[in-house]
Amino acid sequence: VSEDDNNMEEYPTEIHDNLTAFEKSLGSVDEMLKTMMSVSRGELLQKLDPLEQAKLDLVSVYTLNSMFWVYLATQGINPKEHPVKQEL
């Protein structure tokens, strides 16, 4: 979106704000993933008690499934009719 404002005619201008917010959100997710992946999983789990470990695992799985849901939608596949719905 921010790469070149001259490309605005490639998509409806009324969704520009939504695309900008989406791009910002993706940047936030990218930063969080980089932070999490900078430490080995074993190292990270050593610092957490069992309940926090379980929460981390649940959040990780939910996040991956949600990202796949978004990917399917961007590919024109209805995620509600895909097996990933049962995963969520």
Residue 21 tokens, joined:
């917010």
**DSSP secondary structure of the chain:** -TT-GGGGGGS-GGGHHHHHHHHHHHHHHHHHHHHHHTS-HHHHHHTS-HHHHHHHHHHHHHHHHHHHHHHHHHTT--GGGSTHHHH-
> Has this prediction a pTM greater than 0.75?
no
Domain boundaries of the chain, sorted by first residue: 49-87
Per-residue pLDDT of the chain (88 residues; tens, 9 = 90+): 455 555 556 778 888 998 899 899 889 988 888 887 888 888 888 889 999 999 988 988 888 888 888 899 989 999 888 887 776 6
